[in-house]
Structure 1
Amino acid sequence: MSQPNVLKENLAESARVVAERIGERKPEAGMILGSGLGPLAEQIEDAVYVPFGEVPHMKTSTATSHVGRFVCGNLGGKCVLAMQGRLHGYEGNTAQEVAYPVWLMHGLGIGTLVTTNAAGAINEGYRVGDFCIMEDHINLTGRNPVAGLEPDGIAFRFFSMLDAYDPELRRLAHEVADDLRIRVQEGVYLGLLGPSFETPAEIRAFRSWGADTVAMSVCEEVIAARHVGMRVLGMSLVSNMACGIEGASPTDEEVLDVAKDREADFARLVTGIVERL
């Protein structure tokens, strides 16, 4: 007799609960709103709120500014399911626990994921306050949510990460930014476990590897999304220069202050992208 797939069963139960809470709504896109970027969820109309803690088998957020709830409603003329805050490895969550809400979104029929975060700029051509579309990533968390037996029961464990960040969605994001006259970059994102910020020596190494931005999230989410065939758009707010660049010594307060300053343009940009999905 085959062993039960606990992960698959848990996801099915979670999806049933969320589906019951959101009623007749059929979200077309999933969104993850990172550090300081959660206020966008307040612009979602006809919203239903589902705290992470009320979803069976799902962890809750403990990070600063991460409200820790799903918000389902209308944004840019589309039905979306947004995570107002995310789960991080540095909070003590396993890679599968970080990935869990992404697999949950897929279980609700969502095929497109927009994941956002605040990141430090390694590329010295970037400026604080820029938005950076993710072209690719380097996963230095040391973890992969698909490792183990149970994720193979959700989807085949071996899959390509070529164009993990969908080229068509990236082009769309650039078009919207151009129309709105919002400055955007495009580059390679490097993800770490955290929670300590990086050392200057690490930043010099990461630059030599081709990384343009660095932060403590995203990679495990994107791996999980690609595992089940979701299209992904990733975008960072450059909230600080990385440690040692121009004498920078990042702080959490700096990250949140910059996010507050760029809140309006972030909302315009993401809403414009969602409108054209």
Structure 2
Amino acid sequence: MNSPYLQGDALAAAVEAAAAKLRAAFGDAPTIAVVLGSGWSSASDQLQNVQRISYADLPGWPLPKVEGHVNEVVVGTTAGGARVAMLRGRAHTYESGDCTGMAAPIRSLKAWGVQVLLSTNASGSLRQHQPPGSLMLISDHINAPQRSPLVGVQGSHRFVDMSCAYDLELRQTAAKLAKEIDQRLCEGVYCWALGPQFETPAEIRMFAAWGADAVGMSTVPDTILARHAGLRVMGLALITNMAAGLSAEALTHELTLREAKDSGERAAGFLSALLDRLTALESLKAA
């Protein structure tokens, strides 16, 4: 199957050009970039002093067609003064069968000077203590399809250590903040399923037996790409439904979007406070 995304030397050239365009549009890179998944779009609406650039103006960047994704980079400041970049759209593997769709954006962010990728998503819960509306801090992931965006990459640096893919200091910071402001924040393992169909009850039972706490159709390729690029990573999942077989409700994309909309403002508020706290970390200031 031919990839719809740039590869090899063409990708490298596009990344260099896109990083230059980001620098020209926004100046120096913020410390943190956030990929906004379903339900998280209101986070960008809360930013102040906003500047924007379309993915269409950035060489090599994908133009996802998933409902709720706007396909633009937004740079602004939180109410607490943290300057951040937010990506309003991500390429999903189920759109093309190719899991390299976020290679150009993530490598461009690194080339621009970003240090942390904070990946957000909407997920289904495998645990009754984590109902719809909950937030889950991703501690680890399971790559159920065993697909990698690094296939074909040359050199020893392709063998990326994933033993602590989701940065411990960043997770501890999020957990401490949640406790301080009385925000319920579960922590658990995210399982990536390829999609676009939802999982069967039997698959959900298998994932639960593997140790998964939530399931979704994104994030893992982004994390692999980010770790390969040398970015620190953290992940937040907004629980929008109980996974197949755990409730009587039929699973639909509309259900996901509806629950995400209902819970999105609260999730965005926590994200804003978290960005303020993360930006103040000495380990990021010194980098």
Fold shared by both chains (TM-score > 0.5): yes
Counterpart position of 1:166: 167
Counterpart position of 1:80: 84
1:56 aligns with 2:50: no
Between the aligned partners of 1:103 and 1:253, the Cα distance in structure 2 is 32
Contact persistence 2:133–2:259 (CA under 8 A): yes
Q: After the TM superposition, which of the residue ranges 84-93 and 186-195 deviates more from structure 2?
A: 84-93
Moved over 3 A (4+): none
Q: Deviations over 1:123-149 (max 9, x none)?
A: 222111100000100112332111113
Deviation at 1:25, TM superposition (A): 4.2
Contact persistence 2:39–2:238 (CA under 8 A): no
Contact persistence 1:87–1:93 (CA under 8 A): no
Between the aligned partners of 2:48 and 2:100, the Cα distance in structure 1 is 31
What does 1:115-194 correspond to in 2, within 5 Å? 115-149=119-153, 152=155, 156-194=157-195
Which residue identity is paired with 1:266? A
Number of residue pairs the alignment of both structures matches: 270
Between the aligned partners of 2:108 and 2:58, the Cα distance in structure 1 is 10
- Using structure 1 for the length normalisation, give the TM-score: 0.93
Between the aligned partners of 2:222 and 2:257, the Cα distance in structure 1 is 22
Counterpart position of 1:263: 264
Counterpart position of 1:276: 277
- Using structure 2 for the length normalisation, give the TM-score: 0.89
Which residue identity is paired with 1:182? Q
Deviation at 1:187, TM superposition (A): 0.5
Query: Structure 1 residues 127, 149: closer, same or farther in 2, change over 3 A?
Result: closer
Contact persistence 2:30–2:85 (CA under 8 A): yes
Which residue identity is paired with 1:47? V
**Percent sequence identity over matched residues?**
35
Q: CA RMSD in A?
A: 1.6
Q: Deviations over 1:187-216 (max 9, x none)?
A: 100012211110111101111111110000
Unaligned runs of 5+ in 1: none
Between the aligned partners of 1:215 and 1:160, the Cα distance in structure 2 is 23
Contact persistence 1:25–1:73 (CA under 8 A): no
Between the aligned partners of 1:141 and 1:79, the Cα distance in structure 2 is 36
